[in-house]
Amino acid sequence: MGGKSNLPNKLRIYFLDDSFLDIWLTLDGDYSYHWESTLQTGLIHRWDNAPDHPEITTFPKHFHEGAKENVKESHISEDPEKAFSEILDFIRTKLKGVEQG
């Protein structure tokens, strides 16, 4: 067959609070899971493996916690299905905290 698919590689999921999760995956293993709730809380959370933070011990994997500038280690699974589940659990926990707060 050869060549890359022309199918979309990005998915956006909206949550009841109008925050959203953008999921971007490539056939080469690059990824970004970006949860944005800037209108609700002013925060973003993004897990990605762009090679732009070599100072992080899990390089190239890293996590933007709350803001683009707040970069930390990322320990999500290498398996996209498991990573997606872990991220949904993270979002669920954060949203429950907002509801209770």
* CA dist., res. 31 & res. 80, Å (int): 9
pLDDT of residue 6: 57
- Structure tokens belonging to residue 93: 């926990």
Would you state the structure tokens that stand for residue 95, as one six-digit string? 């949203």
* Domain chopping of the chain, boundaries: 17-71
Distance CA 64, CA 16 (A): 23
Q: Is residue 55 classed as helix, strand or coil in its secondary structure?
A: coil
Q: Do the Cβ atoms of 37 and 97 come closer than 8 Å? A: no
pLDDT in the model for residue 100: 47
Which pLDDT tens digit goes with each residue over 12-24?
Answer: 999 999 999 999 9
Mean pLDDT in residue range 2-13: 70
pLDDT at 101: 43
Q: pLDDT tens for residues 35-62?
A: 999 888 889 999 999 999 999 999 999 9
